[in-house]
Amino acid sequence: MSSEPVVALSPKTWDEIKTTTCYMCACRCGIKVYLKDGTVTYIDGNRDHPVNKGVICGKGAAGIKQHYSPGRLSKPLIRVGERGSGEFREIEWEEALQTATSWLGNVRKTDPKKLAFFTGRDQSQGLTGWWATQFGTPNYAAHGGFCSVNMAAAGLYTFGGSFWEFGEPDWKHTKYFLLFGVAEDHGSNPIKAGLGKLKKRGAKFVSVNPIKTGYSAIADEWVGVRPGTDGLFVGAIIHELLNAGQIDGDYLNRYTNSPWLVIDNKGAADHGLFARDENGGTLVWDAHKKAPVTTSDHDAARALMGRFTLPDGRKVATSFQLIAERYLAPENAPDAVTERCGVPADTIRRLAAELAHVAFKETVTLDVPWTDFTGRRHEKMIGRPVAMHAMRGISAHANGFQTCRAIHLLQIMLGTIDTPGGFRYKAPFPRPIPPHIKPTGKPDQIWPNEPLPGPPLGFVTGPEDLLLAADGTPQRIDKAYSWDAPIAAHGMMHMVITNAAKRDPYGIDVLFMYMANMSWNSAMNIPDTLKYLTAKDEKTGDYIIPKIIYSDAYASEMVHYADLILPDTTYLERWDCISLLDRPISEADGPADSIRQPVVEPERDVRPFQTVLLDIGARLKLPGMTTPEGTARYPGGYPDYIVNHERAPGVGPLAGFRGVDGTQSGKGAPNPNQLQAYIDNGCHWFYELPDEHKYFKHVNKGYLEWATGFGLIGKPEPIIHQLYCEPLQKFRLAAEGHGAIQPPDGHRARIIEAFDPIPFWYPPFEGDLVDEVAFPMHAVTQRPMAMYHAWGSQNSWLRQILGRNWLYIAKERAHTLGIEDEDWVTVTSHHGQIKGQAKLMNGVNPDTVWTWNAIGKRSGTWGLKKDAPEAKQGFLLNHLISELLPEREGGYRFSNSDPVTGQAAWYDLRVRVEKAVDQSNISSPQFPTLKNLGVGQ
């Protein structure tokens, strides 16, 4: 009898399981980390977690390799050679902290704005923004300016919410889902799970995207639009709906500013503003009384459309009259836009008809009574089950703000926002339009050794809110909130290094960055960025950017160009909070937040950045971080802050388990056992709204009262959608010569064009300014499903999925260019040239080439071998993109950004693609190999 070998099929690989929150992308799923003898052996999804309900994706599971990456930094470093030489000396933390404090202290006691403090995709902006406020510098932002500020600002100035993590389709009831410009890295697990639900129910899913990968590949219909023309496509759908009378007039009249009266007084200072009564209240036209009445008169017979004359003789029109006139114009007809946007006119007409059919003939009715803000009771919740979602494909264009506003206009005309089946807000949204926070950093708000009176970032409502010096020049180093980009609500990180090196508008003393790879994949125009980081003053021989402090967990390209390195922990080694004060993980059914707890202790000499920041703050005696006695207010570091910091009385970073006994939510005294309560609850907290508060939140009396008590909004007032955006018109009037604060002459035409209060489309600037014949193709990037951060390409598991990138091109187009599969090609823009290897595919807009972003690495970085494919075959489009637009009239070079929000216009890139003469197996440009600063294998 043969004996079978005994094989342990399921050996127990763990002796302990701890919950925490994933950081491998921005979804922040709950995870369970399995440990054996203190070593991470396995990561799984947490079934109880509201975000992922147990699902784990490939990135999340590969977090082990992130944690044990050879690219990790291990010790504080101070530069001893030239920038870029990789010559550093290891130092102790005390020396590092003293050095940082001394550099920063000198800035604070002289001119605090000479500190530029910028962070990347970090998840602690509630802390970092507050720290900048306490320091007293307006020069603060995270990476939103080059990621999604168009998305955020367009939503917040239109309907008090936004796409991305601030809302989601009603996955349970949506019957028609339109997805614009979303690559598969975004909303990873939640969107995948949501699409699964739609597919199961047979809902239609349409993806509008030049590239058919990821989500688009499983869409029922793929619309391969030409990059930067989505606004034309949406405008034509709106044209069709208006022509057919397929709009939700009742929703528009009740819940939007469509019936508000707009003054028609061309050339005057009130032209395009809302007509107001003597108390400043906006007006609507009462069709029965044939007279204007205040918008708070809810019994009025509001005219949705029409042109009227006020008793004082001024002409007015309703907002919606103006909107309808714009979109009914022949230039918005499908036949007029089809060639430019690359979508057949019949397809546009059919999609418009399908949207209308689902919205108006397939309504969803929930047997849930609710009361609107006027006190009117509704016996049921009736929804129009069309939902939309959008992301960077819309956002990263110079026309992204207005395009995104157009998408919101489309949703709102169909009456779908926060109705069953529509797009739903997630707490803390909806918020007033725009949120009642103004940016600070005016000249009289910056003083040595003083905090700012408010946060650096906020929402302007007119020229008076801009951050301008006495001579009208920008107050911020990135020129956010100046005439270059008045509504730059997330700052303009992509301009910091260029402006600082050019001392335009002024020089800075310290550049302090966290987790932002600004010398490589987060830079537009890498070659010049490297020059700027190493540029020296001809007279003194000192670096023009005198001091650079950088914190990161990994030996990225940026580390080599900094002077002082503060090594961060991995996400499994630290406390964190995913806070309602920052970018929360709420669900549409209610607010949620979560924590990270350290599941392992670092074996390297590294410290969590957030704790280091609080330590430096206390050493600098920043008011919020210091007791009246002068000691550290949060001696226990970040976890101490998470529990005890109060932004307003009773409001702290975490909303759950508040009050001394942990029984309060939202508001409540600090609870010393709060973190343990989170741990006991799987590291998250969720409050489910009662059914009557789950929809129509912007106008739902019960919800608005609850949200006020909970601390999400200041007053229980309705959040009326602003289809016509009056703040934009105020900037336009200033550019036309009205008011005390006006733009310089060279900026006027651009403000007048872009600050249209009604959404519209204009060509992306790069295509408008460069020769489209010389550069006939668009070039864009996507993040792959397997990688989100730039750090994904150092992950030994994920590298096996994608170890290098390719330039993807439509088969037929490639053949006309004489390019075969795997040929090396040159890609040339008005700014530079790269060489990469081509892959031919179907499913890409024929005028577009694309590649996976941030896969290309500089040789010697991230703990990779110097000949790693990421370095030798990988490439970046960044070399081709200029951070500045070509010179315009007057010689001034505007940033390559949306003129409204300052959003970096990465996707406006125009290129020429040719078969390379040099077919050698190496990409270009190649830069000298950097020293490997990681811990090694």
The residues binding ligand SF4 (CB under 6 A) are 22, 24-25, 27-29, 52, 56-57, 59-60, 188-189
For residue 689, the minimal CB distance to ligand SF4 (Å) is: 24
- Is the Cβ of residue 395 or residue 594 nearer to ligand SF4 in the bound state? 594
Give the residue with the Cβ less far from ligand SF4, 22 or 699.
22
- Minimum distance between the CB of residue 637 and ligand SF4, rounded to whole angstroms? 24
Q: Which is nearer to ligand SF4, 585 or 625 (CB)?
A: 585
Cβ atoms of 177 and 17 closer than 8 Å: no
> Would you say 52 or 742 has its CB closer to ligand SF4?
52
The residue (of 28 and 83) whose beta carbon lies closer to ligand SF4 is: 28
The tally of CA atoms less than 13 A away on the side-chain side of residue 863 is: 24
| Closest separation in Å from C-beta 185 to ligand SF4 | 9
Q: How far apart are the C-alpha atoms of 469 and 662, rounded to whole Å?
A: 47
Q: How far apart are CA 370 and CA 589, in angstroms?
A: 15
Q: CA-to-CA distance for 155 and 240, rounded, in angstroms?
A: 23
CA distance 374 to 383: 19
The smaller minimum CB distance to ligand SF4, of residues 54 and 846, is found at: 54
Q: Which is nearer to ligand SF4, 620 or 855 (CB)?
A: 855
Report the residue number, 57 or 322, with the smaller CB distance to ligand SF4.
57
Q: In DSSP terms, which residues pair with 826 in a beta bridge?
A: 835, 914
- Other CB atoms within 10 Å distance of the CB of residue 439: 26
φ/ψ region of 871 (left if φ > 0, alpha if ψ in -120 to 50, else beta) reads: alpha
Nearest to 685 by CA among 595, 573, 599, 582: 595
Q: How far is the CB of 121 from ligand SF4 (least distance, A)?
A: 12
Minimum Å gap between C-beta 168 and ligand SF4 is 14
| Residues 116-139: b if buried by 16+ CB within 10 A, e if exposed | bbbbbbbbbbbbbbbbbbbbbbbb
Cα(449)–Cα(819) distance, rounded to whole angstroms?
Answer: 61
CA distance 770 to 880: 13
The dihedral region occupied by 660, where left means phi > 0, alpha psi between -120 and 50, and beta the remainder, is alpha
- Comparison of 47 and 436: residue with beta carbon closer to ligand SF4: 47
Q: How far is the CB of 698 from ligand SF4 (least distance, A)?
A: 28
Residue 187 or 434 with smaller CB distance to ligand SF4:
187
Task: Provide the residue type at 129 as one letter.
Answer: G
Q: Which is nearer to ligand SF4, 52 or 829 (CB)?
A: 52
Total count of residues recorded for the chain: 937
Kind of pairing, strands 576-578 and 564-567? unpaired
The least CB distance from residue 574 to ligand SF4, in Å, is: 16
Count other C-beta atoms under 10 Å from residue 726's C-beta.
Answer: 19
Contacts 24+ apart (CB under 8 A), 371-375: 371/692, 371/700, 371/701, 371/702, 372/254, 372/696, 372/699, 372/700, 372/701, 372/718, 373/699, 373/700, 373/701, 373/704, 373/716, 373/717, 373/718, 374/298, 375/701
The amino acid at residue 81 is G
Minimum CB separation from ligand SF4 for residue 41, in Å?
17
Give kind and range of the element (H or E) at residue 318: strand 315-318
Residue type, 815: H
Cα 29 to the center of its chain, rounded Å = 18
Cis peptide, bond prior to residue 420, ω within 30 of zero: no
Instruction: Select 241 or 787, whichever has its Cβ closest to ligand SF4.
Output: 787
Q: How many CB atoms sit inside 10 A of residue 541's CB? A: 7
CB of 61 to ligand SF4, least distance (A): 7
In whole angstroms, what is the distance from residue 573 CA to residue 602 CA? 6
Minimum CB separation of residue 30 from ligand SF4 in Å reads: 9
Of 116 and 790, the one with the shorter C-beta distance to ligand SF4 is 790
| Cβ contact 844:809 at 8 Å | yes
CB of residue 58 to ligand SF4, shortest distance in Å = 7
How far apart (Å, rounded) are the C-alpha atoms in residues 795 and 655?
34
In angstroms, the CA 266 to CA 322 distance is: 14
Quick one: tokens of 238?
């709106």
Question: Residue 613 in 3-state DSSP?
Answer: helix
We find the least distance from the C-beta atom of residue 45 to ligand SF4, in angstroms, to be 7
What is the nearest approach in angstroms of ligand SF4 to the Cβ of residue 21?
A: 8
Question: To the nearest whole angstrom, how small is the minimum distance from the Cβ of residue 479 to ligand SF4?
Answer: 33
Please confirm whether the linkage preceding 453 is cis (ω < 30° from 0).
no
* Residue 160 vs 598, nearer CB to ligand SF4: 598
Q: By C-beta, is 134 or 189 nearer to ligand SF4?
A: 189
Nearer to ligand SF4, 22 or 261 (CB): 22
Going by the DSSP 8-state scheme, the letter that residue 700 receives in this structure is: B
In angstroms, what is the minimal distance from the CB of 67 to ligand SF4?
A: 13
Tell the smallest beta-carbon distance from residue 49 to ligand SF4 (Å).
9
CB 27 → ligand SF4: shortest distance, Å?
4
Residue nearest to ligand SF4 (CB): 60
Q: Where are the alpha helices (DSSP H) in 12-124?
A: 58-61, 63-67, 93-110
Q: How far is the CB of 31 from ligand SF4 (least distance, A)?
A: 6
Cα–Cα nearest to 576, from 597, 602, 599:
597
Cβ proximity to ligand SF4: between 49 and 405 the closer is 49
- Structure token digits, residue 226: 């030409």
Distance CA 156, CA 145 (A): 15
Residue closer to ligand SF4, measured from CB, 324 or 592: 592
